[in-house]
C-alpha cells in the first residue's frame, strides 16, 4: 500500500513496515537504484530485526532532487531472504554507481 509523505525542509525521512518505523538515514542500502529523471528510488535494506525490506520511494513531479525528495509516496515490503538476495544481485550494476 502506498504511503504519502510531506516532509518539512531538513526533516528526516522515515518509513513504516509491519507497524515499526525506521529512519532512512540510520540504514545502509544493500542495493539501490535511483532514477533521477523519474524521481523513482528503490532500495533493499536489512532491518535491525534481521528482516529484509524493499523500499520504493517516488517523489512528486515538482520535487528538486538536489535537495532530496520532501513530498511523494513510498511502499515498504518485507522480503524473504531469497527474494532480497535476488534483488541485491539484480541491482548490483546500479548499486555500484553509488560506491
pLDDT (mean) for 36-41: 88
Residue span of the structural domain in which 61 resides = 3-96
User: How many domains does the chain contain in total?
Assistant: 1
Query: What is the pLDDT of the chain when averaged over all its residues?
Result: 92
- Judge if pTM exceeds 0.85: yes
**Confidence (pLDDT) at 18:** 93
Q: Are 15 and 23 in contact (CB under 8 A)?
A: no
Q: Are 79 and 53 in contact (CB under 8 A)?
A: yes
Higher pLDDT among residues 73 and 38, named by residue: 73
Q: Is the pLDDT of residue 98 over 90?
A: no
**Confidence (pLDDT) at 66:** 60
Give the confidence band of 57 by pLDDT, cuts at 50, 70, 90: very high
Amino acid at each position: 500500500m502506498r504511503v504519502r509523505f510531506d516532509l518539512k525542509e531538513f526533516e528526516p525521512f522515515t518509513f513504516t513496515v509491519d507497524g515499526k518505523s525506521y529512519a532512512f538515514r540510520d540504514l545502509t542500502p544493500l542495493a539501490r537504484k535511483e532514477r533521477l529523471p523519474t524521481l523513482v528510488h528503490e532500495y533493499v535494506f536489512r532491518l535491525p530485526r534481521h528482516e529484509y525490506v524493499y523500499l520504493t520511494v517516488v517523489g512528486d513531479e515538482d520535487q528538486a532532487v538536489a535537495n532530496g525528495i520532501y513530498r511523494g509516496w513510498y511502499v515498504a515490503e518485507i522480503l524473504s531472504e531469497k527474494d532480497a538476495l535476488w534483488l541485491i544481485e539484480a541491482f548490483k550494476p546500479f548499486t555500484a554507481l553509488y560506491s
